[in-house]
Amino acid sequence: MQSLFTASEFVLKYPKIYGIATPLRHLKLGYVLITHADFDVVYEKEIFNFNRESEHQAYLLTYLDDDTQLLVIKNKGTQQYFYPKYKQVDYLLCSISEGEINIEIVKIVSKLKGISICFALDNPNKKDLLNFTQLQ
C-alpha cells in the first residue's frame, strides 16, 4: 500500500510563540491589558492542553489597529504546563490564526507595566505543538 505522504512531508507548523515573564498575578495582568488603549480584552474560559488534563487561564486579545487576535495563556495550569519546556515562563503569547504575531504587539506587551520581558521561544516539539495547534 502506497502512502500519500512521507513522514518528512507531514510537518505541523505554528506561528512563533512568545514568552512573557512577569510577577503579576492573572487578574492584575488582565487589568493591565484591559486598560491599554490598543487592545480589546476578553477573559477566555476553558483553555485546556491537548489531552484535556490541565486547564489554563487565558485572555483573548484583539489588537485594535488591525483586528489581529491572539491569546495570552497562563503557562502553569491546574495539572501541567501548557509549554513544559519553558516552566520559567509565566504566560505565553500565541496566535490563534496561521499568521505570525504582529511585532508591534510584542513591543507593546514588552513595555506594559509589570512585564519583565516578552521574548520569542523556540519552536515546540511535535508533542508540545499539539497544545498550540488546537487553538486555531
DSSP secondary structure letters along 56-76: EEEEEEEETTTTEEEEEEESB
Q: Give the model's pLDDT for residue 60.
A: 96
Cβ count within 10 A of residue 82: 26
pTM of the model: 0.87
Q: How do residues 18-70 score in pLDDT, each as one tens digit?
A: 999 999 999 999 999 999 999 999 999 889 999 899 999 999 999 999 999 99
CA distances from residue 47 to 33, 55, 73 in whole angstroms, order as listed = 18, 6, 8
Q: Number of C-alpha atoms within 13 angstroms, CB side, residue 1?
A: 3
Residues 6-10, mean pLDDT to the nearest whole number: 50
Q: What is the predicted pLDDT for the residue at 30? A: 95
- pLDDT digits over 70-104, tens only? 999 999 999 999 999 999 999 999 998 888 999 99
Provide mean pLDDT across the span 106-118: 96
For every residue of 100-113, DSSP letters joined together read PPPHHHHHHHHHST
Which residues make Cβ contacts (< 8 Å) with residue 113, sequence separation at least 6? 32
Q: Report pLDDT for 71.
A: 96
Residue 92 in 3-state DSSP? strand
Measured distance CA(103)–CA(7) in Å, rounded: 32
